[in-house]
């Protein structure tokens, strides 16, 4: 049910009936996808593109040109700045997970969807992730989390 719900919210699936709205906006509206950022359970490998290139492409997808300051801020905040010219395929699993978060946040969405974000990650990355997510929430970003780790959900 939770993956289906996220798939409907992100317009990957259509609801069988009714209409889905996010912050009052219909999924059929052109700007709907700018309302959320998704960190999927499975990491997406962008092959031969560098981190900088993928963030620039993602910014463009959301209609943002000249978004370098935000892109750089996320790379620094997530400990990826020294890797920004590496190809995504060259990153470790933990770095790919952090990069997925940067990609989901590059357009400053109102809602961050985290689908099992700490599955298979080390303790250090887990702590960094929860600190960052808590900070985002304090700044007004809504967070929807799916997890099998009930103790993490209760703590957050």
**For residue 50, what are the β-bridge partners?**
87
What does residue 24 show for φ and ψ, rounded to 5 degrees?
80, -5
H or E segment and range at residue 27: none
Sign of CA dihedral 147, 138, 112, 28: positive
**pLDDT value for 110:** 96
The three-state secondary structure class of 62 is coil
What is the tens place of the pLDDT at every residue in 3-43? Answer: 788 888 898 888 888 888 899 998 888 789 999 999 988 77
CB 64 within 8 Å of CB 107 = yes
What is the tens place of the pLDDT at every residue in 51-107? Answer: 999 999 999 999 999 999 999 999 999 999 999 999 999 998 888 988 999 999 999
pTM recorded for the entire structure: 0.89
H/E/C letters for each residue in 87-139? EHHHCCHHHHHHHHHHHHHCCCCCEEEEECCCCCCCHHHHHHHHHHHHHHHHC
Q: Assign 118 a pLDDT band (cuts: 50, 70, 90).
A: confident
How far apart CA 106 and CA 17 sit, in angstroms, is 32
CB 67 within 8 Å of CB 61 = no
* Cα atoms in the Cβ-side hemisphere of radius 13 Å centred on 8: 13
């Amino acid at each position: 049910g939770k993956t289906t719900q996220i798939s409907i919210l992100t317009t990957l699936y259509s609801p069988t009936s009714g209409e889905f709205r996010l912050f009052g906006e219909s999924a059929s509206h052109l700007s709907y996808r700018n309302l959320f950022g998704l960190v999927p359970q499975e990491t997406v490998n962008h092959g031969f593109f560098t981190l900088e290139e993928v963030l620039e492409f993602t910014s463009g997808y959301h209609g943002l040109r000249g978004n370098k300051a935000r892109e750089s801020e996320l790379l620094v905040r997530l400990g990826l700045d020294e890797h920004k010219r590496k190809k995504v395929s060259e990153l470790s699993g933990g770095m790919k997970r952090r990069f997925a978060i940067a990609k989901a946040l590059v357009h400053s969405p109102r809602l961050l969807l985290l689908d099992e974000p700490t599955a298979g990650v080390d303790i250090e990355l887990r702590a960094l992730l929860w600190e960052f997510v808590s900070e985002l929430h304090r700044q007004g970003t809504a967070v929807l989390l799916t997890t099998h780790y009930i103790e993490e959900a209760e703590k957050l």
